[in-house]
Amino acid sequence: MASIKSYSSSAPNLVGATTGGQAPQHGQRRRHNFGDRMYKLSPEETPFFAYLSAVGKAPTDDPVFRVLEDRAPIKWADRTFNLVTASGDKLKIQENDATDLRWEYDAGGNGYPADEAAGLFDLPVSAAAKAEIIPGMLVQLIKWDGEDPQQVTGRVSAVNAGNSIQITTVEQYGAAADTELTSSAANEWQFQVIGSAFGEGTGSPDSFGYDMDDTYGYTQIFKTSAHMSNTARATVLRGYASEWDRVWSMKLREHKVDIERAMLFNNKGRIDSVQYTEGIIGHIVKSSAGTDMAGLSVDATALSYVAGKPYIRNVDAGSGNEVTYDRFLSDFEVIFAPERGGASEKFCMASMAVVTYMNKLKGGYLSDSTDTNQHYNLDFTSVDGGLGHKVMKIDSIHGSLSIVKNPLLKGIGKSMMVGVDLGCVAYRPLVGNGLNRDTYIETNVQSPDEDSRKDQILTEAGLEVCLPEAHFLYNFTDGTDPIG
């Protein structure tokens, strides 16, 4: 365990006096920059802060820092969109009409409009989808006839001023006449863009952009003070002679732990001029696309992707059908999907109870993959982390989890394992105009007439969270009660 023994006038980060004129403490108040060394102090206590400080530090010069999310990889990798329809709407795919192959749309089952001016050929889409559709794109209706895939290909012939497009038939495999589809659910008809096609000698097509999403974060001011009378400081004690040095070691750790807890559990906000930074668990729970955490119900549904939403999974460790190889592999297929912008490896922090549970699983627990008599293991490996942590590495065909225990996952976090894409988070200390607000120490901040010593540790920093869908949270329960 690292500790701080003393601070002397020869310290390399010593700067001049913070007071401007002749005063009783002129030349005694010192400022010691400690930001680049703080994470090395007992890193096993605060793994998230330690890894962020070591590999993900990005100083900001504004306490309200702007964040740009590059969602371009998601746009081109998953080119699907839906028609905005209601249950009972009809879609007619023209096949044998030699004069017009444009698809017709009947809203509400009231019959097709009589002419084009009435919207006969307009197919409704969302504004977001329309912004990324241009005339000339080839699209394919995602459709099956029972278990057989149907080849229904069209070309976008027009993008209208409103939120609608026109599609003409290119090929409808297996159909000899016009096909009429009736929607059984809202937004049922989904299309995939499969390229573009243009005639010989035609001009250049329109273009859609890859704009970055703009969001923001807050820095938070953390303060911890150490105070002791000069009588206590001058007293030599048994075991640890200098009580001041012992207290200083504990205060630095206390400060670091406060930052870690905030970056785990906080909710971003500003109230009465006090700013609160984002916490990764707070962010996931607040904006997730998964099961309602308040119910802590057994969750047997598959994870599904929603843009800008992280994943939450409640896993009933006491259920025979919740902890299976198939279940984890299906989850990893969604969590590690390459078109969602995340990395193929997640940094996971787990509570002590979850770490114990995961270690118990290494002996052959995962059943029900293809046969009830078969037991399949994910590839569990124990390795040493770069900062001295013990790491459980879980490899699958979709991606890898590097699990470290986080002793600060208590309270609502006692049954949690949170997966973080380290490329989509950053530690943002405030640095600007020659002043570094990353962790620093101010000595002798007591009043001049006090017969005591008071020092202050101060940090102004925040957590940046990008691409929420790159992060996930597993909550382990026994029935409806969280484990731990």
Tell me the pLDDT tens digit for each residue of 145-204: 888 888 889 999 999 988 999 999 988 775 556 788 888 999 999 999 999 999 999 999
Token digits for 227? 């105070």
* Distances 421 to 106, 125, 396, 466, 469 between C-alpha atoms, Å: 45, 32, 16, 9, 10
449 Cβ contact list (under 8 Å, min separation 6): none
Residue 28 CA to residue 23 CA, distance in Å, equals 10
pLDDT of residue 392: 86
pLDDT for 451-467, tens place per residue?
A: 999 999 999 999 999 88
pLDDT for 106-117, tens place per residue?
A: 887 777 766 655
Nearest to 23 by CA among 454, 476, 484, 444: 444
pLDDT for 394-436, tens place per residue?
A: 888 899 999 999 999 999 999 999 999 998 899 999 999 988 8
Residue 44 CA to residue 247 CA, distance in Å, equals 20
pLDDT band at 374 (very low <50, low <70, confident <90, very high): very low
Residue 84 has pLDDT above 90, yes or no: yes
pLDDT of residue 341: 66
**Ranges of each domain in the chain:** 1-71+212-484, 75-196
> What kind of fold does domain 75-196 have according to CATH?
Elongation Factor Tu (Ef-tu); domain 3 (2.40.30)
Nearest to 328 by CA among 259, 251, 417, 451: 417
pLDDT band at 379 (very low <50, low <70, confident <90, very high): low
pLDDT of residue 1: 36
Percent of the chain with pLDDT over 70: 76
Burial 20-40 (b: 16+ CB within 10 A, else e): eeeeeeeeebbbbbbbeebbe
Instruction: Give the single-character DSSP code of 460.
Output: E
Whole-prediction pTM:
0.75
Q: Between these two residues, 71 and 62, which has the higher pLDDT value?
A: 62
Q: Between these two residues, 367 and 103, which has the higher pLDDT value?
A: 103
Residue 416 CA to residue 330 CA, distance in Å, equals 19
pLDDT of residue 468: 87
Token digits for 456? 């202050």
Helix, strand, or coil (residue 277)? coil
CB–CB of 244/455 below 8 Å?
no
Say how many C-beta atoms besides its own lie within 10 A of residue 269's C-beta: 11
Nearest to 103 by CA among 90, 115, 91, 116: 91
Nearest to 206 by CA among 147, 165, 151: 165
| DSSP class per residue in 38-62 | GGGSSGGG-HHHHHHHHH-B--BSS
CA 423 to chain centre: 10
Bridge partners of 458, per DSSP, are 223, 440
Nearest to 414 by CA among 477, 480, 347, 327: 477
